Amino acid sequence: MDILFSGQLLFAALVSGSLYALVALGLNLVYGTLRLLNIAHGELVMIGAYTAFWMLTLFAVPPVLSIPVAALVCAALGWLLYVGLFRRLLKRPELAARIEANSLILFYGISVILQNATALFFTSSARGYSYLGEVVTMGDVSMTGNRLLSLGVAVTLTIGMLLFLRFHIFGWSLSAVIERREAARVVGVNVDQVQVITICVGFAIAGMAGVLVSMTEQITPFMGFPFTITAFVVIIVGGLGNIPSGILAGFALGLIETYGVALTSAGYRSILIYGLFVAVLLIRPEGLFAKAVKS
Amino acid sequence: MNVRSALFLAFLAVGTALLPIWGTPYLIGIAFNLMMWIALVQSWSMLSATTGYVSLGHVVFVGIGAYAFVPTHDILPLPLGLAVSAIAAAFFAFFVGLPVLRVPGPYFVILTFGLSELVRNIVMRIESGLGSFGRMIFDAPDPGVLLWWMLVLAVFATVIAQLIRGARFGRGLAAIREDEVAAETVGVAVSRLKLYAWIASAAIPGAVGALSLLRVSYFEPGQAFDPVISFTIVTMALVGGTQDARGPILGAAAFVLLSELLWSSLPQLYMIVLGVALIVFILFLPGGLIGLADRKRRSG
């Protein structure tokens, strides 16, 4: 039982929790403003991870410096998708109604394309690199440098994003679009501009999270799906479109998962995640600790 | 669907039934796959196309049917075993139906997906707890016999799906798609209709699971509950179109053909084409292939 009270386990829970919170934050922003259920979100994590891998392998750029590069790559993809597909369709109400209903399946198509195009170009074998693998000891907790860095970057990005939403004027317009889309338009918020920036930011956040993942884990073209699922669990527990509760839920999931697995065995991880997912949807689809977001 | 299309489909069914007599094993294999997908997509359409409650977890019924078949295989004759599998899947649908069908819109889509993944993981856990990784079936019938049974399921699913659309039952389901609250207000028994349609759409996939198990002889829970099957069902339905029962047949045929052409040599390219087709049909051709054909006929 000692292991349950050790700082070691808490550290592990915080590392995965911060990552879940970050990945889910991007998904939540895109759902909140565009009402699109992006099931390709995990593929952006994968693209971020591959960006870091190739930057290191080809140009010897340390992964921490690849974070902005991955953000740019994913933001560009978000921009392309918005300008190429969604802008025209979201503007026409009769199409928009259908797109929202079908967005999940639409993004499944995008996800399949991204996965298989990556597999076609880079083969589907697992890749990895070692970076900051040496152990740092603080008190009775030993941690590798890369995990510490991952925790630091994820927490910084999440807090930065929250402060931006809270204090910057663009953050206000974004929150306004999430809460009352039509009302925001009436009071002069440029909804189209908010949407394009949000999709870029949401995608960029996932890409940056991907760089963090690649520092500690092996990467494959099909690595994204589990991240999509955990991100969905997180934003459903927190309430779709509710940003602060989503972050809270991310950390909560990290804790539940780490301690749940410590109490049982690693084989129960998926049952735990999906069980939570199904239970929350059945009991309270609008989210466990959240006020419902009005659409 | 007019008399001419119905006759054409009947002609195709007879052709498929004769295939085991003159066809090569390769052709029989393709026909088996085609009939399997037709049966699955038609079953899926009974709830999801009529009401708009899109199920993204239909593979759960296939997996349950396959597992239910394992203990009955040695005891019961094949038709009874298939019936047991269908009943097991229908019973599962009944069991989870009321709470699941209460969940609206996009939540229903992800809930059905989550539910099927939950069942998959629980079964995988149980299997590894038992120390077995999969199930083996001995003395499977001849592929030709299996094709006949799959054809029966495909025809059965097609006929039921078409009858539902025309019946009072189907008009109630269509009312749910248009406006569920309004339908309830004017006296449509919303919850009961949804539950019946959900059970109907679960039964045949259960029997399909049993036949697929016989076809491969050995399977693992990861295969029996493979989420790609659920996604493929939805893709075929969207590409074929779901206004009438010809759509799912067209959709299934298109992808079975495509997979024959590409899967063995370029599996990744096949998946990319599948993804592009999904996007193009959702955004630009919401009526599917069948809608496209009808529009051509009207304008031409």
DSSP chain B: --HHHHHHHHHHHHHHHHHHHH--HHHHHHHHHHHHHHHHHHHHHHHHHHH----S-THHHHHHHHHHHHHHTTTS-HHHHHHHHHHHHHHHHHHHHHHHHHS-HHHHHHHHHHHHHHHHHHHHHHHHHTT--SEE--SPPPHHHHHHHHHHHHHHHHHHHHHHHHSHHHHHHHHHHH-HHHHHHTT--HHHHHHHHHHHHHHHHHHHHHHHHHHHSEE-HHHHT-HHHHHHHHHHHHHH-SSSTHHHHHHHHHHHHHHHHHTTT-HHHHHHHHHHHHHHHHHH-TTHHHHHHHHHHHH-
Question: Over its length of 295 residues, how does chain A's per-residue pLDDT go in tens digits?
Answer: 566 667 788 888 899 999 999 999 999 999 888 888 888 999 999 999 999 999 999 998 888 899 999 999 999 999 999 998 888 777 777 666 666 667 888 888 999 999 999 999 988 888 888 787 777 777 777 778 888 888 888 999 999 998 988 888 888 888 888 877 778 888 878 888 888 999 999 999 999 999 999 998 889 999 998 899 889 889 888 877 888 888 999 999 999 888 888 888 777 888 888 898 888 888 876 655 545 444 4
In the numeric block, the tokens 């927190």 are attached to A238
Chain B residues closer than 8 Å to A229 by CB: 117
pLDDT of residue A295: 40
At residue A226, φ and ψ (nearest 5 deg) are -55, -35
A267: nearest CB among B125, B275, B278: B125
A143 sits in which H/E element? strand A141-144
Q: Report the distance separating Cα B236 and Cα B41, nearest Å.
A: 7
Q: With CB atoms and an 8 Å threshold, state whether B107 touches A285.
A: yes
Type of residue at A38 = N
In chain B, the residue whose alpha carbon lies closest to the alpha carbon of A96 is: B283
Render pLDDT for B255-266 as a digit per residue (tens, 0 to 9): 999 988 887 778
Q: With H, G, I as helix, E, B as strand and everything else as coil, classify residue A284.
A: coil
Question: Over its length of 300 residues, how does chain B's per-residue pLDDT go in tens digits?
Answer: 678 888 888 888 888 888 888 888 899 999 999 999 999 999 999 998 888 888 999 999 999 999 999 888 888 899 999 999 999 999 999 999 989 998 877 788 889 999 999 999 999 988 888 887 778 887 788 888 999 999 999 999 999 999 998 888 888 888 888 888 888 888 888 899 999 999 999 999 999 999 999 988 888 888 889 988 998 999 999 999 888 888 999 999 999 999 888 877 788 888 898 899 888 888 888 888 888 887 777 775
Q: With H, G, I as helix, E, B as strand and everything else as coil, classify residue A180.
A: coil
- The whole model's pTM is what? 0.88
Chain A residues closer than 8 Å to B109 by CB: 37, 104-105
Chain A residues closer than 8 Å to B122 by CB: 271
CATH number reported for the structural domain that contains residue B117 in this entry: 1.10.3470
Number of folded domains in chain B? 1
CB A110 within 8 A of CB A40: yes
Q: With CB atoms and an 8 Å threshold, state whether B118 touches A275.
A: yes
ipTM over 0.95: no
Q: Report the distance separating Cα B80 and Cα A41, nearest Å.
A: 45
Type of residue at A122 = F
A236 and B CB contact within 8 Å: yes
Beta partners for A141?
A138
Structure tokens at B96: 């989870």
CB B82 within 8 A of CB B207: yes
Give the closest residue to B60 by CA, choosing from B71, B68, B49, B72: B68
The neighbour count for residue A138, using CB atoms within 10 Å, is: 10
pLDDT of residue B135: 80
Domain that holds residue B277: 3-299
Chain B residues closer than 8 Å to A101 by CB: 52, 54, 105-106
A89: nearest CB among B238, B278, B283: B283
Separation in Å, CA of B149 to nearest CA in chain A: 31
Q: Which residues of B touch A (CB under 8 A)?
A: 52, 54, 56, 99-100, 103-107, 109-111, 114-115, 117-118, 121-122, 125, 128, 231, 234-235, 238, 268-269, 271-272, 274-279, 282-283, 286
Beta partners for B219?
B135
Separation in Å, CA of B281 to nearest CA in chain A: 9
Q: Report the distance separating Cα B182 and Cα B196, nearest Å.
A: 20
In chain A, the residue whose alpha carbon lies closest to the alpha carbon of B116 is: A274
A120 and B CB contact within 8 Å: yes
Q: Which CATH class is domain A7-283?
A: mainly alpha
Q: Report the distance separating Cα A106 and Cα A260, nearest Å.
A: 34
Q: With CB atoms and an 8 Å threshold, state whether A110 touches B231.
A: no
Q: Report the distance separating Cα B248 and Cα B242, nearest Å.
A: 6
A122 and B CB contact within 8 Å: no
In chain B, the residue whose alpha carbon lies closest to the alpha carbon of A270 is: B121
